[in-house]
Structure 1
């Protein structure tokens, strides 16, 4: 049986296209995962974008102004900003607070900056480990979606942010406070419903 040139072309295209598209698979999977996170977050997509913009602006401004003289973290959740880290003096702390307050779309600022020497690598690694333990315990508890609670740890103090119900806030705080290595838990939730 003889095949027409069009049929042969279609067969060749059918054989050639899948390998070319396979490079797109990671992009498609990553895009789907990102869309799932946006969809399960109680913040609007616009609020999530605003939070990322707030964090980027403040990190860039503070790094440009103070460089290595500060250890500075900023976390924005639904326009509520948490400042953590260490600064050399009260003037720098006040300036960073003013920068945060003056940033577009910021609804409020929780200033937890400490005046003193910056923490070392070991302390920061321990903070990351504590955050991981708290998040793991959230998953194990199956009491609420972990996408609803943001966990930040600085100097073994755990800060909890998110749009949650009263019950979810209490569960998250109880789980965090009973995690080994946690010195204190600070609830910065916005209570819904």
Structure 2
């Protein structure tokens, strides 16, 4: 059964915590009868295409005109590409967006790259350490067993991506936002269905009331504001609308 809610969350929680670039895919313990198995609606072919897109984008930073001008990492899902990293100016960022849109299989681009000098190695190492801490903590959470969550960190901002339930999204966010050194938690979760709950004929989980987050439809790309938990100093940053391939090319012709 592929009962999939195509909901994309792109919201950032700015934290008031003090403390300390890498990307890691978190996979929980092997699935058991009680494991949380989430249905990913993508076919094997779609997954291969998304993986190729991510590799192609990662290689752009080592090619002219982006050498020493940008650091870019990508996450692709059914041809929808999320970019994060740094670009030295807005022109480089825009040029990179256009270049990614030309990659075969790309349907839209959401460029979250920061316009700033490239991170020094000391900050890159610190980001890798933060990613490691987030990874370790998520792996020990029993409610996230069997769940694949991509974790990336850029300048202390942690990106959480993957197909999860609403309840699992809340758990992963709450864990991450309380780790030392994390400045923001930026989620790009898509809501799937818990296969074990389907077999038990239980209703889909409802969002946990602790942290109310803005939900954005991938097709409508409309920003919604939401309030944060009363025990945190969180700020919801508006969703940035993806750039569709055709519209971007028309604007730049």
Give the TM-score of the pair, scaled to structure 1. Answer: 0.72
Higher RCO structure, 1 or 2 (CA under 8 Å, sep 6+): 2
CA RMSD of aligned residues (A): 2.4
Matching residue of 2:131: 131
Deviation of 1:56 after TM superposition, in Å, equals: 1.9
Distance, in Å, in 2 between the alignment partners of 1:92 and 1:63 is 14
SS at 1:103's partner residue?
coil
Aligned positions of 1:83-122 closer than 5 A: 83-122=83-122
Aligned residue pairs total 157
Point out where structure 2 has 5 or more consecutive residues left out of the alignment: 1-29, 31-36, 194-253
Does the Cα contact within 8 Å between 2:165 and 2:191 map onto a contact in 1? yes
User: Is residue 168 of structure 2 the alignment partner of residue 168 of structure 1?
Assistant: yes
Distance, in Å, in 2 between the alignment partners of 1:107 and 1:167 is 29
Highest CA radius of gyration, 1 or 2?
1
Does the Cα contact within 8 Å between 2:163 and 2:190 map onto a contact in 1? yes
Residues 145-178 of structure 1: CA distance to partner in whole angstroms, max 9, x if unpaired? 3642111110110111111111111111111111
Aligned positions of 1:12-51 closer than 5 A: 42=40, 43-51=42-50
User: Is residue 196 of structure 2 the alignment partner of residue 192 of structure 1?
Assistant: no
Greater helix share, structure number: 1
Residues 6-59 of structure 1: CA distance to partner in whole angstroms, max 9, x if unpaired? xxxxxxxxxxxxxxxxxxxxxxxxxxxxxx9xx998354323311221022223
Matching residue of 2:63: 64
Deviation of 1:89 after TM superposition, in Å, equals: 1.2
Point out where structure 1 has 5 or more consecutive residues left out of the alignment: 1-35
Matching residue of 1:28: none
Give the TM-score of the pair, scaled to structure 2. Answer: 0.56
Matching residue of 1:33: none
Distance, in Å, in 1 between the alignment partners of 2:131 and 2:45 is 26
Aligned positions of 1:139-154 closer than 5 A: 139-145=139-145, 147-154=147-154
Distance, in Å, in 2 between the alignment partners of 1:57 and 1:51 is 10
Distance, in Å, in 2 between the alignment partners of 1:173 and 1:73 is 21
Distance, in Å, in 1 between the alignment partners of 2:166 and 2:155 is 26
Relative to 1, partners in 2 of residues 1:71 and 1:99: Cα closer, same or farther, differing over 3 Å? Answer: same
